[in-house]
């Protein structure tokens, strides 16, 4: 049993190295192929509302170390500090006209290919949490911190199992399960199911508070 477990861990490490290389190559290709769409998107964002084209935000990466994640801006400048804070739905007045389209099509996520090239993120992994939400890194239990053992992803196991409808404690458990079982087959499954969710816009709207204070540290 011990040898089987060791062999599994070895194959998992090899796959993660392979995943990092292939992910960077695909990100470079994606940035080139999708550059016309990204340029049009950048122009649309700039013409639609005042402010920068890209939205940059601190997120927790491997080991809980913060990094700057990129998105096309979909809300008015300073939206995070006004209105309903980190939560938004399709009727949120802070979302711009172009931003509403970007969110529904997930085009706002495309700049994260730059994060993949930099090594901050992967295509598939636990979705990177904010540095302060659902709580600060120091407030996660040792069990919960396992979700920071891998690079965060553009999509992941939690995203195909409820996406924004899943309460944070449950979302963390889904992320931990992925970290413990990561494999090529699992990643291919996530890619396929993510494509379906993007095309159908399923579970792509926050339904309310998903991190009540009494759930902090729940395992």
Q: Cα(104)–Cα(150) distance, rounded to whole angstroms?
A: 27
Contact partners, residue 75, CB within 8 Å, separation at least 6: 55, 88, 92, 94, 95, 96, 99
**Cβ 61 vs Cβ 152: under 8 Å:** yes
Determine how β-strand 54-60 pairs with β-strand 153-155.
Answer: unpaired
* Residue 171: count of CB within 10 angstroms of its CB: 26
Q: Cα(116)–Cα(158) distance, rounded to whole angstroms?
A: 19
- DSSP 3-state assignment of 145? helix
Strands (E), 32-187: 54-60, 66-72, 122-124, 153-155
* φ, ψ (nearest 5 deg) of residue 161: -120, 45
Q: Cα(90)–Cα(82) distance, rounded to whole angstroms?
A: 16
Sign of CA dihedral 54, 89, 211, 106: negative
Joined tokens for residue 155: 């999509």
The pLDDT of residue 162 is 82
The pLDDT of residue 66 is 97
Kindly give the parts of the chain with pLDDT less than 50. Answer: 213-219
Average pLDDT, the chain: 87
The pTM for the full model equals 0.84
């Amino acid at each position: 049993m011990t040898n089987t477990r060791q062999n599994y861990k070895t194959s998992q490490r090899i796959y993660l190295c392979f995943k990092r290389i292939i992910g960077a190559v695909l990100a470079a290709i994606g940035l080139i192929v999708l550059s016309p769409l990204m340029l049009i998107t950048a122009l649309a964002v700039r013409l639609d509302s005042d402010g920068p084209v890209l939205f940059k935000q601190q997120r927790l990466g491997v080991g809980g170390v913060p990094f700057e994640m990129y998105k096309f801006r979909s809300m008015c400048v300073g939206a995070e500090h006004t209105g309903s804070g980190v939560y938004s739905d399709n009727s949120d007045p802070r979302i711009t006209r172009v931003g509403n389209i970007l969110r529904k099509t997930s085009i706002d996520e495309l700049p994260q290919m730059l994060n993949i090239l930099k090594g901050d993120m992967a295509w598939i992994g636990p979705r990177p949490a904010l540095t302060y939400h659902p709580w600060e890194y120091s407030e996660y239990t040792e069990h919960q911190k396992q979700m920071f053992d891998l690079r965060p992803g553009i999509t992941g196991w939690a995203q195909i199992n409820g996406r924004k409808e899943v309460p944070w404690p449950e979302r963390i458990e889904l992320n931990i399960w992925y970290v413990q079982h990561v494999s090529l087959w699992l990643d291919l499954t996530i890619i396929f199911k993510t494509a379906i969710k993007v095309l159908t816009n399923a579970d792509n709207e926050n339904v309310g508070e998903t991190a009540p204070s009494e759930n902090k540290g729940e395992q």
